[in-house]
Chain A
Amino acid sequence: MAATPAVAIHQFAECITCHAWSPDQSMIAFCPNNNEVHIYKLFTDKWEKLHVLAKHDQIVSGIDWSRSSNKIVTVSHDRNSYVWTQEGSDWVPTLVILKLNRAALCVQWSPKENKFAVGSGAKSVCICYYEQENNWWISKVIRKRHESSVTSLAWHPNNIYLATTSTDGKCRVFSTFIKGVDTRGSQSSTATDSKFGEQITQLDLSSTWAFGVRWSASGKTLAYAGHNSMIYFVDEVESAPAAQNLALRDLPLRDVLFVSESVAIGVGFDCNPMIFAADDTGLWSFVRFLDERKATPSTSKASQLSEALGKLYGQSKGTSSDTVEPSKPRGGAHENCITCIVPLTKGRDGTIKRFSTSGLDGKIVVWDLENHITIAK
Chain B
Amino acid sequence: MAVNYNAKEEADGHPSGVGASGGAGKSRKPDNTAFKQQRLPAWQPILTAGTVLPAFFIIGLIFIPIGIGIFVTSNNIREYEIDYTGTDSSSPCNKCLNVSWNSTPPCTCTINFTLNQPFETNVFMYYGLSNFYQNHRRYVKSRDDSQLNGDNSSLLHPSKECEPYSTSENKPIAPCGAIANSMFNDTLELFRIDNETRIPITLNKKGIAWWTDKNVKFRNPSGNTNNLTALFQGTTKPVNWPKPVYMLDSEADNNGFINEDFIVWMRTAALPTFRKLYRLIERKNNLQPTLQAGKYSLDITYNYPVHSFDGRKRMILSTISWMGGKNPFLGIAYITVGSICFFLGVVLLVIHHKYGNRNTSADIPN
Q: Do A and B bind each other?
A: no
Interface residues of B (CB under 8 A from A): none
